[in-house]
Amino acid sequence: MLFIYNLLTVIAGWHLKLIALFIPKIKLFVEGRKVVFDTLSQKIAASDKVIWFHAASLGEYEQGLPVMQKVKAMYPGHKIVVSFFSPSGYEVRKNTKDADVVVYLPLDTLANAKKFVALAHPELVFFIKYEFWPNYLNELRKHNTPTYLISGMFREKQAFFKWYGGFYRDALKAFTHFFVQYESSKKLLQTIGFTNATISGDTRYDRVSEILERDNNLPFIEEFIDGKITVVFGSSWPKDETMFTDYINSSTGTKFIIAPHTFAHVPALQQSITKPAVLFTEKEGKNLADYDVLIINTVGLLTKIYSYADVAYVGGGFGTAGLHNILEPAAFEVPVIIGPNHQKFPEAVALVNMGGCISVKNKQEMEDALSLLTHNDDQRWETGHIAGTFVSMNRGAVGIIINHIANETGV
């Protein structure tokens, strides 16, 4: 099976090069990987001590960041290498100050794995949540490199737990320890013989709690809000937007901030809104208080913007791309609304069950939820308070992970 996997990986690499000619995101994926080994050669010397963190994309990076920062403090003489699989992670964080080297992870071929591990020569490795690449893991195991999974999640449908997943199960032997989010993941690992697992919880709760301590002031948002109830639609997709634009158009006395996940559909979004609306990139010289809708067509501001929200809708729940981060608005004690497709996100299921988040199935339910939370002060406060308490009570994963590693490595 490993032979077939390796063959398919090579074939996939060829196909991606062809697809890259037509799809810009895939082009970034392919072109970015061409310079990985040169980057590692230039920035990592044979004498350097290295710690490697791998994240699939931006969400996993943010999830692992509080651990990375603690590890960096524990090992101040080491260089931190961060690898991404997805352009959406690499392109946003390629210049982060929390790492010394940021690269794409080359496709999981035998040759790539050997060369990457040889050039990076890490002393410690952290994989975040998932992304189990057999050749990389097998290479780390050959080098006896301490390797950890943080905020891990396992499901029965994964190949590890199937009759054909033997080579995947063997790859898991590379992990020194698994830090998993839930009891169910620990039990699944036990069924295939792995007992080196600790239920640490999800590091994202620690990460989003840290944002409360930052300077989240955005004067232009304060000018726009002008003291009025404000709804923030974060990381919205076109399917999300069809559910709430009519509500915006029919509302009075409420301010709306929309931060789309991508900007290609912003012109169509603008056309669908009849209220006075302004783009972030066109705000200069305007009296923002005169507008009812502010569209954020830039990146990096959404977390701070949530701190100004009275109500937040988090996108992704009406499509198949996946629900975006509900914990950021929840950390600010903001009541959250989401779409129906959230069952694969345990934090969303739990928060809905607790009453800190409202799941809506259609346009009418969306409008009812927005109306309830914008017009009923008590309901808005209670829902938001539950959301904030939910985040607070689930903190602590980073401490569990760092304490274990400190005891294991003697740092």
Per-residue pLDDT of the chain (411 residues; tens, 9 = 90+): 777 887 888 888 888 888 878 888 888 888 889 999 999 999 999 999 999 999 999 889 999 999 999 999 999 999 999 999 999 889 889 999 999 999 999 999 999 999 999 999 999 999 999 889 999 999 999 999 999 999 999 999 999 999 988 989 999 999 999 999 999 999 999 999 999 999 999 999 999 998 898 999 999 999 999 999 999 999 999 999 999 999 999 999 999 999 999 898 999 999 999 999 999 999 999 999 999 999 999 988 999 999 999 999 999 999 887 899 999 999 999 999 999 999 989 899 999 999 999 999 999 999 999 999 999 999 999 999 999 999 999 999 999 999 999 988 765
Strands, sheet with 147-152, edge to edge from the N-terminal-most edge strand:
101-104, 79-84, 50-55, 124-128, 147-152, 177-180, 197-199
Alpha-carbon gap, residue 180 to 400, rounded angstroms = 11
Question: What integer pLDDT is reported at residue 3 of this predicted model?
Answer: 76
For the chain, domains (ranges, CATH) are 1-201+396-409 (3.40.50.11720), 214-394 (3.40.50.2000)
Alpha-carbon gap, residue 157 to 145, rounded angstroms = 28
The SS3 call for residue 220 is helix
The SS3 call for residue 172 is helix
Alpha-carbon gap, residue 132 to 146, rounded angstroms = 15
Question: What integer pLDDT is reported at residue 148 of this predicted model?
Answer: 97
Question: What integer pLDDT is reported at residue 29 of this predicted model?
Answer: 84
Alpha carbons within 13 A on the beta-carbon side of 68: 27
- Whose structure tokens read 């928060």? 351
Strands, sheet with 357-359, edge to edge from the N-terminal-most edge strand:
277-279, 293-295, 255-260, 230-236, 311-314, 336-338, 357-359
Catalytic member of 60, 131, 241, 333? 60
Question: What integer pLDDT is reported at residue 26 of this predicted model?
Answer: 84
Alpha-carbon gap, residue 376 to 354, rounded angstroms = 19
Task: Decide if 241 is catalytic.
Answer: no
